[in-house]
Amino acid sequence: MPRPKLRKISLDGAAYLWRIEVAYLGVRTPALRARSTFTVYLKGHKASPARLSFTTIADAQAGAPLHSGYAIAIDDDEPQPLKLNLNEPRHAASMIRLLRELGWQPELRTAFTVEDGNRYLRRLEAAAT
């Protein structure tokens, strides 16, 4: 499957290129684990991407919930379902700001990866509203 095209967003005076990719983990069943990865580059700095990954359960009918905006429960301790669509530019802006806050410095020409983005989902949802 070809990679999704890079989308452009201007944020805080800088231009960024970003995309969302989904990989399905394991055997296809009615419920399947999906890993969604947000990748972003500062325009002109493709040697230093930042990646933020999320793991959810994908449904055979609805697909990956973080790409549809369907409400999902992400934590047994938090009864309020999460409603987030990572494909929306407002969420891309929130993820870029989060990555910069966590220490991503694209000018340094090194990749920056956050494997457990799930812990930031509530924060991303709140920042985009």
More confident site: 66 or 114: 114
Is there a domain that residue 113 lies in? yes
pTM of this prediction?
A: 0.82
> Does the residue 32 lie in any domain?
yes
Q: Is 65 helix (H, G, I), strand (E, B) or coil?
A: helix
Write the CB contacts of 10 (distance below 8 Å, at least 6 apart in sequence): 16
Specify the DSSP element, H or E, that contains 24: strand 14-25
Burial class (CB in 10 A: 0-12, 13-18, 19+), 104: buried
Does 1 map to a domain? no
Which domain, by its residues, includes 108?
7-127
Report yes or no: 54 and 35 within 8 Å, Cβ to Cβ.
Answer: yes
Q: What is the mean pLDDT of the chain?
A: 81
pLDDT band at 74 (very low <50, low <70, confident <90, very high): low
23 found inside a domain = yes
Task: Establish if 17 belongs to a structural domain.
Answer: yes
Task: Judge residue 16's burial from the number of C-beta atoms within 10 Å of its C-beta, 0-12 exposed, 13-18 middle, 19 or more buried.
Answer: buried
Q: Is residue 27 part of a domain?
A: yes
Q: How many domains does the chain have?
A: 1
Under the banding of pLDDT at 50, 70 and 90, the label for residue 16 is very high
Domain for residue 2, yes or no? Answer: no
- Diameter of the chain by CA atoms? 45
Distance, first Cα to last Cα, the chain:
33
The average pLDDT across 91-97 equals 92
Task: Work out the number of other CB atoms within 10 angstroms of the CB of residue 38.
Answer: 25
Is residue 69 in some structural domain? yes
- Position 55, amino acid: T
